[in-house]
Amino acid sequence: MSEVTITKQNFESEVINSDKPVLIDFWASWCGPCRALAPVISSFAEKHDEIKVGKVNVDDEQELAVQFNVMSIPTVIMFQNGKPVKQHVGLADLGSLERQFI
């Protein structure tokens, strides 16, 4: 499954009302570690159809970043039943993300 771009406008439909857990990568285009994490997030999305994977550009969606206390990027947050349940800050490899979020 490919990644979904999450915005304030589609957050409710894509995350709150999702029938499966949602892993969201909070990132920015100017962030080196975010760019390094991007292929890891893509691999995670391809490997785990049971989890919806989304991306929030913090420059475009500052309200969402503030709402979920994203102070440093990249930050990855797992949502279940519309609520944040787990979080990882910083660069990680695929195995680390799987151990933390699967």
Place of tokens 């406008």: 9
Which one of the listed residues 34, 58, 76, 97 is annotated catalytic?
34
d(CA 11, CA 56): 10
Which one of the listed residues 1, 4, 28, 31 is annotated catalytic?
31
Respond yes or no: is residue 34 known to be catalytic: yes
Q: Do β-strands 83-89 and 75-80 pair in parallel, antiparallel, or remain unpaired?
A: antiparallel
Residues acting as catalytic residues: 31, 34
